[in-house]
Structure 1
Amino acid sequence: MDDPTTAGTTTSVTACAAEQLGQVGELVGILTDDQYLHRPRGASPIAGHVRHCVDHYTAILAGAGSGTVDYDRRTRGGPVETDRDAALARLAHVRGLVGTVAPGDLKRPVEVVSVVAPDGSVARTPSTVGRELVFVAHHAVHHLAVMVPLARALGVDVPAEFGYAPATLAAGRRPGADA
């Protein structure tokens, strides 16, 4: 099996990550401020999902430089979660940073630090920048799959392909069909 972080796939790894951020940004852009902040009963608002995605991308980009990725360090309640314009600006900024990830950076080793128990126990796992960039892109797809129905329930016309994994779309499955 080919190494997913080789220079030949750099474009696809960074493009996939940027594409998912682009879809999140496009969704935020078609919402009103009230829709962005709307808290459905028993669910998180779209704003919370957006902030969570941004935090994950920020963690891998920071980890690419420091060698340590900590997805559990998050900025809850900040401007991305409370201001749609701030979210759009931050999404555009992070998407630009993803586009600057160099081919050699994808193979760079990182250590992922994760809280794995309610008592705060931590696991440390070896990975690479490329592997983690693929993870955050797929993680964003998962959150889009939650945000899209929330937006549609608010009457927003969301593009049909939003919230589907690249593998689902590549397999030729029609958006809206069973994944």
Structure 2
Amino acid sequence: MALAQLRHFVAGLTPEAYQQAAGCRGRHTLGKHVRHIIDHVEALLNLGPGEGVVDYEHRRRDARLEQWPQQAANRLDDLEALLVAFDPQKEAASLHYPVGDEALMLDTSVSRELAFLTSHTIHHMAIIGLLAEQQGIPLAEDFGVHPSTLRHWQREATSHVIAR
């Protein structure tokens, strides 16, 4: 769901808007955050049979996905299809987790990593939303909002109606 919403947003962007630098050092662009999301999803999908190690540290970082929104939208479309066919019941996995000069190998599961990626994606979509708003790009009200927050908003709206 989040990737579909992101894909739809990205497909409507011009390369100029997608690449526009923001922040005091100019390090942030819509494209860099989209590419970052794609990298993380690919890291999990590249989990080979029998390998069992998820490594978010060593990502592909394809610069074209930062620069060209249509390429990123196409890749997001591909990832959505791969996720539909992806088996979250794969064997137990380990997470390569760097800490300083060391790296820990933490027990995890594919399902747990899918949950992480959902929250990670939505978190970066919230940042993308802030950058888009600075450019005057319209967004859906629920863009970059976690489902738990949407449910909270709904309960809050319902309680205000009942209280009146």
Q: TM-score, normalised by structure 1?
A: 0.79
Query: Aligned residue pairs: how many?
Result: 152
Answering whether residue 26 of structure 2 is matched by residue 56 of structure 1, we say no
**1:70-97 superposed Cα distances (whole Å, 9 cap, x missing partner):** 0011223522112212111111101110
**Is there any run of 5+ residues in structure 2 with no aligned partner, and where?**
156-164
Contact 2:10 2:73 in 1 (8 A): yes
Q: Contact 1:110–1:127 at 8 Å: present in 2 too?
A: yes
Post-superposition offset of 1:64: 5.9
**Looking at both structures, which has the greater relative contact order when contacts are Cα pairs under 8 Å and sequence separation is at least 6?**
1
The alignment partner of 1:172 has SS state of: helix
What does residue 89 of structure 2 align with?
106
State the secondary structure of the residue aligned to 2:115.
Answer: helix
The residue identity in structure 1 corresponding to 2:148 is A
Q: Which one-letter code corresponds to 1:110 in the other structure?
A: A
Q: Which has the larger radius of gyration?
A: 2
Distance 1:171 1:137 in 2: 18
1:1-179 matched pairs, under 5 angstroms: 19-42=1-24, 43-63=27-47, 65=49, 66-102=51-87, 105-106=88-89, 108-117=91-100, 119=101, 121-173=102-154
Cα deviation code 1:81-138 (max 9, x no counterpart) = 1221211111110111011123xx3363110002121x3x111101100000110111
Q: Distance in 2 between matches of 1:27 and 1:116?
A: 35
Q: Which runs of 5+ in 1 are unaligned?
A: 1-18, 175-179
Query: Secondary structure of 1:51's partner?
Result: helix
RMSD of aligned alpha carbons = 1.7
Identity, % of aligned positions:
30
